[in-house]
Structure 1
């Protein structure tokens, strides 16, 4: 995983962790969601979709499948979370899944690319021609 993508995923992960933690609070999170007409669930789905796209399109990511699976499960859970008490438990589940997501992003190796140095002056030399 490249460093800028890792930073973006960490920022989005922490934002979603705080969001899911707040929305999972009994009565307070439900009141917040109902008072805004379930709009926070739509914004969460959008954020998880962005995270899903970033992880799917990053070809240098070793843990692409697990990160995209977590984002897809969170999208599906937010679609069901409009049911009052079921939604609270789903937000708890999504909170813990975001902890796992952040842990995976932090533990994935950074992609460095090709680290060999190419010298155009010595490109055609063999071992015998080397001086």
Structure 2
């Protein structure tokens, strides 16, 4: 399994946690939005790894946007859930790049 797929699973799982009503929001508030900053960094790292492996960067790019929108209570929760679904599907599918 490639590093980008592992990172997509990790970031997708974290996004799913942040998308849980009340629990995810409480966690974000308890870290004074530090969790969103950490997620932005993780999505950025994942994006660069996926780009270097010539994989899909869509989920990571959406995750970066979600990290900013995450400060808006209900919209942020919805975005975290959508981003989690996209990242997990992206991590579960194999990129069609020939490995030599």
The answer to which structure, 1 or 2, has the higher relative contact order (CA under 8 A, 6+ apart) is 2
**Residue 84 of structure 2 is aligned to residue 95 of structure 1:** yes
Deviation at 1:108, TM superposition (A): 2.3
| Within-5 A mapping of 1:58-97 | 58=53, 61=54, 64=55, 67-97=56-86
Cα deviation 1:24-73 (Å, max 9, x = unaligned): 11111101100110011111110110011112223xx3xx3xx1122112
Specify the alignment match of 1:10 in structure 2. Answer: 5
Q: Which runs of 4+ in 1 moved over 4 A?
A: none
d(CA) in 2 for partners of 1:91, 1:80 = 9
* TM-score for the superposition, normalised by structure 1: 0.68
Shift of 1:81: 1.0
With normalisation by structure 2, the TM-score equals: 0.87
1:72 match: secondary structure: helix
Residue 21 (str. 1) matches residue 16 (str. 2): yes
Aligned to 1:42: 37
Q: Which residue of 2 aligns with 1:108?
A: 95
Higher share in helix: 2
Q: For the residues of structure 2 that align with 1:76 and 1:44, how far apart are their CA atoms? A: 10
> Comparing 38-47 with 68-77, which one deviates more in the overlay?
68-77
1:119 maps to none
1:21 Cα offset (Å): 1.4
How far 1:87 moved relative to its partner?
0.8
Corresponding residue pairs, total:
100
1:17 Cα deviation after fit = 2.1
